Structure 1
Amino acid sequence: MRAGAWVDSPPEASAQAPPFVSYAEGTMPRSITPSNVAQMLDTAAIVDVRKEQARLKSGRTIPGALRLLPQDAGTRWREFEGQTVVLFCVHGHEVSQTACALFEEKGVDAHYLAGGFEAWQAAGLPTDTLGKDP
């Protein structure tokens, strides 16, 4: 089966189906572990792409993380040209992988945080209160 293909039915078949991401043949977004990201806090752009409701509910983020609304990833990727970027959402699934695929398609060195912010917290890695200056 080709990467990015629907397994059961196209998105039109279900109002709750996740958005379809068309990956280039044989490619998928690249994941990176929380422990590896922790070593990159000073060298990579860490980008919080969680949906606003989930972000506000947690009240926390990764230290120094930049904010990017998920729906803006396709238009704001140029801000990250020439940088290594790690994008994260709550669980490391559709939101961060979609943003990562969009960034990679434009030539940005992008990765998504495996397991998302939940995995970051479960690993006992540092967090900041939302609104704290980096």
Structure 2
Amino acid sequence: MPNSIDINTLNQLLAAGDAPLLLDVRRKADYAAMPQIIEGARWWDPESIDTWSKALPAGRPIVVYCVKGGSVSQSVVNRLHKEGHDAVWVEGGLKAWIESGQPIIN
């Protein structure tokens, strides 16, 4: 099972009828500086993963992204794997999503 997903594959998944759960896990300061998100995403503070990870639905694929697809989203994915979730992080993060011309919402 891959741990990451590219922008094109994410786009295909989001367009499909059974889209994955999309989580924005940028650090609080990064989210506050630019609160725009990928449509359908919900922001979760990565510092509070102990609290919110238990509320995630079991059995639903999860895609997480941070600013650049680095340590924040990768550590969240590792944690979600330990809890039995099927999770991947977005290669290049929100930065790659925007640079590829994909839409974001306020």
Structure 1: which amino acid aligns with 2:90? L
What are the Cα deviations for residues 14-53 of structure 1, in whole angstroms up to 9, with x where unaligned?
xxxxxxxxxxxxx9x7010011111222510010000121
Alignment of 1:100-119 (within 5 A): 100-119=77-96
Deviations 1:67-103 (A, max 9, x none): 2110222342231321100010001111100000000
Please state if 1:68 is matched with 2:48. no
TM-score by length of 1: 0.70
The answer to whether the Cα contact below 8 Å between 2:7 and 2:96 also exists between their aligned partners in 1 is: yes
What's the TM-score once normalised by structure 2's chain length?
A: 0.87
- Partner of residue 126, structure 1: 103
Q: Cα gap change, 1:30/1:115 in structure 2, threshold over 3 Å: closer, same or farther?
A: same
Identity %: 29
Aligned-residue offset at 1:128: 0.4
Q: Tell me how large the CA RMSD over aligned residues is.
A: 1.7
Instruction: Determine if the alignment matches structure 1 residue 39 to structure 2 residue 12.
Output: yes
Task: Name the structure 2 match of 1:80.
Answer: 57
Unaligned runs of 5+ in 2: none
Looking at structure 2, the residues matched to 67 and 117 of structure 1 have their Cα atoms a distance apart, in angstroms, of: 12
Q: Which structure's CA Rg is the greater one? A: 1
Distance 1:31 1:89 in 2: 12
Superposition deviation, residue 58 in structure 1: 1.9
AA of the residue aligned to 1:111: V
Segments of 5+ residues of structure 1 without an aligned counterpart are: 1-26, 130-134
CA contact (8 A) 1:74 1:99 kept: no
Is the CA contact 2:67–2:93 (under 8 Å) kept in the aligned structure 1? yes
Distance 1:74 1:34 in 2: 28
Question: How many residues of Structure 1 are paired with residues of Structure 2 in the alignment?
Answer: 102
Residue 24 of structure 1 is matched in structure 2 by none
